[in-house]
Copies of this chain bind each other. A is one copy, B any other.
Amino acid sequence: MENFIAYNPTELHFGKDIIKELGNAAHALGKKALLVYGKGSVLRNGSYQDTRDQLDKAGINVVEYSGIKPNPLVEDVDNAVTLGLENKVDMVLAVGGGSAIDSAKLIAVCIPEQWSGWDVMKGRRDPVRALPVLAVLTLAATGTEMNSVAVVQNNQRMEKFGYRHPVMFPKHSFLDPSYTCSVPLDHTGFGIVDLVAHVLETYFGQGDASLSDRFAASIIQEAMEFGPQLMEKPEDYTLRARIMLAATTALNGLVSYGRLNGDWTSHALGHQLSLLFDTAHGASLSIVFPAWMKHMKPRIGSRLEKLGEDLFGNPSADHAIEGLESFFKRVLCPVRLKEIGIAPDQNEKILALMNKNKCNGKNPDNHLNDLDREKIVELMYAE
């Protein structure tokens, strides 16, 4: 087992009508909030209005920045920072999914120091503080509600990646599964794939961590049992709750106890599809992950065999890969590029961007993989 630190100070409020705890939490943190969100869905599912009601009741002044994109852009972060500085806000409150919350985290780091978002993302700054972040989650997927990571993209530079810093843990996150009941089927499936990918990328990290392996299998099994049921009954509160909790635990540190790192190559590869084609994050993963596993089989064979045993009671690497790919299909996610309309003539463009951004990962022995990106792209097109 590797040495590790477990630290996660986020207070997670989970359940029906749990937003009623938001007013008091915000009141303790200041008087003026920058409210960050995307577009219409938070207006339709009630979360925006419930949040405003709570803030009004607590006497919090609100400045709004809306229009955060599903693949969130650093220019929106910078614009929101300007707005927050002009209005001297005390906290940043996101309502939405990963894009709103990730943006809010970066905004909260930039405001106190008047930094640009991209300087922080590129590691050119060394944060020691941030405004407090609160999150009202409306999509079960990224796990950002209980971790210190933000993923933001820069279209000018054609770069998208994650940045992690302990000052970015949300102070409070509010997870009412009801808000996710209206998430469309496609994005429901994308969220399920995203959470499973987070667990797998940690599972393929370095370190003999038997308990984390069990937790990892637990979360994936939860998704495999209840994900397909949810696709049949998308408005079922309990099924939404199970998937929402699974998504949070998939990336809150739990499955990395005893590991040195994870292998986040699939996320890195997937981000290039989002940059080029605005592919939804979860869809990029359901296409990339099987291709990555097939390509990596010679290196991670024994881990794939253990995964097969843990998930399907069959210690076969091929069975594990096929089982996951078939699960992705059951939650209605694409597993090849052609299913999202990307023809083989885009091959070179994809490969060029993956090469430019040096997509790769370490493991299973903490050395950079000798990744054949051309082969992986080929597998993403394969019949």
Contacts and interface: CB of A to CB of B under 8 A. Distances in A.
Interface in A1-59: 1-18
A211 B246 contact: yes
24 contacts: A1-B238, A1-B242, A1-B245, A3-B16, A4-B14, A5-B11, A5-B14, A6-B11, A6-B146, A7-B11, A7-B12, A8-B8, A8-B9, A9-B9, A14-B257, A14-B258, A210-B222, A211-B242, A211-B249, A214-B219, A215-B215, A215-B218, A218-B218, A249-B257
Contact of A245 (B225, B242, B258): B258
A363 interface: no
Contacts of A12: 5-7
Contacts of A219: 211, 214
Contacts of A238: 1, 208
Nearest to A254: B254
A241 interface: yes
A265 interface: no
A179 to B, nearest CB: 14
A221 B254 CA distance: 17
A51 B3 CA distance: 18
A161 interface: no
A12 B8 CA distance: 10
A217 B218 CA distance: 9
A226 interface: yes
Residue of A9, A217, A221 with most chain B CB atoms under a 10 A cut-off? A9
A233 to B, nearest CB: 15
Given A5-B11, A8-B8, A210-B225, 12 more contacts: A3-B17, A4-B15, A6-B12, A8-B9, A14-B257, A210-B226, A211-B219, A211-B242, A211-B249, A214-B221, A215-B215, A218-B218
Nearest to A8: B8
Nearest to A18: B3
Contacts of A214: 218-219, 221-222
Contacts of A16: 3
Interface in A122-163: 146
Contacts of A13: 5
Contacts of A146: 6
Nearest to A209: B245
Contact of A3 (B5, B8, B14): B14
Contacts of A246: 211
Nearest to A13: B5
B2 A6 contact: no
